[in-house]
Structure 1
Amino acid sequence: MALTAGIIIINAVLFGTVYSNKCSSYEISKDNLNKALIGHSVLEVNDKNHQDCARTCMSMSVCKSFDFDRNEHVCKLNDVDQSSVDPSEFETKKGSIFSDISEWPRAMVGSCSSRPCKANQRCYQNGASHVCKT
């Protein structure tokens, strides 16, 4: 099982496809590979992979997009999405992937999918409900 998960993650990183727990997939835009947003980060956390970074972003209502650095496993949460910034606000950064949170399936965060917590809080699924923590 761990080997299968590792292969899926490798495929996601190399080929730009991410698979959710329900065996559905979607494509990460190739235009967002090796790209990072400058000056809009509100929080940086360490995450194992791009999918975990998406979950972290979805768990905080302030997050509109994120940059995941595949080399350093750093997830940068941003307070703006791609449509609200100028193209000059992006940098080319090898190993980074930029994503608008709207591109990801909300089902990935279960009861936190409605983003019920305040801007400075993170939502954690708690059974069929959720808990908001600062």
Structure 2
Amino acid sequence: MVKMTISQDAINFLRNRGYDKHEIILIVDGGGGDYSIEGGSCNIGMDYSLISLDTMKHDSRYSVKIENNADFEIYTSDYDLAFLGDNLVLDIHDTTLRLRNDSGILTGAVKIAKASFLAEQAKKGIINQKNC
């Protein structure tokens, strides 16, 4: 079972933005896939994103539940698990979300977005531009 501890500051940050109202997926943002915000294959393992599925109930491609102390519905994929490691911690450091695990900091700048926003930006051709 994958577990994540979320600091109270991070819980408040996500709740204030409505991320507690819908299922969330945690992805390694490698510049591909429907929920990629940015990056490219050269960034794989460096960029992580939390995506609120505000346009659907569940995406079956993300079926691994991440247990957490905030009772958020957070899921990831088997693929993403290879990058996430054990004992995830999501907190806030210097006003940004930080994700770490037993081996250290995965990223000091977790990106967040709502699926509806990403779909709208993709229609405009904005999201398709990757940096590598």
Shorter-chain TM band: under 0.3
- Which is higher, the Rg of structure 1 or of structure 2? 1
Which structure carries more helix by proportion? 1
In the superposition, the TM-score normalised over structure 2's length comes to 0.26
Which one scores higher on RCO, CA 8 angstroms, separation ≥ 6?
Answer: 2
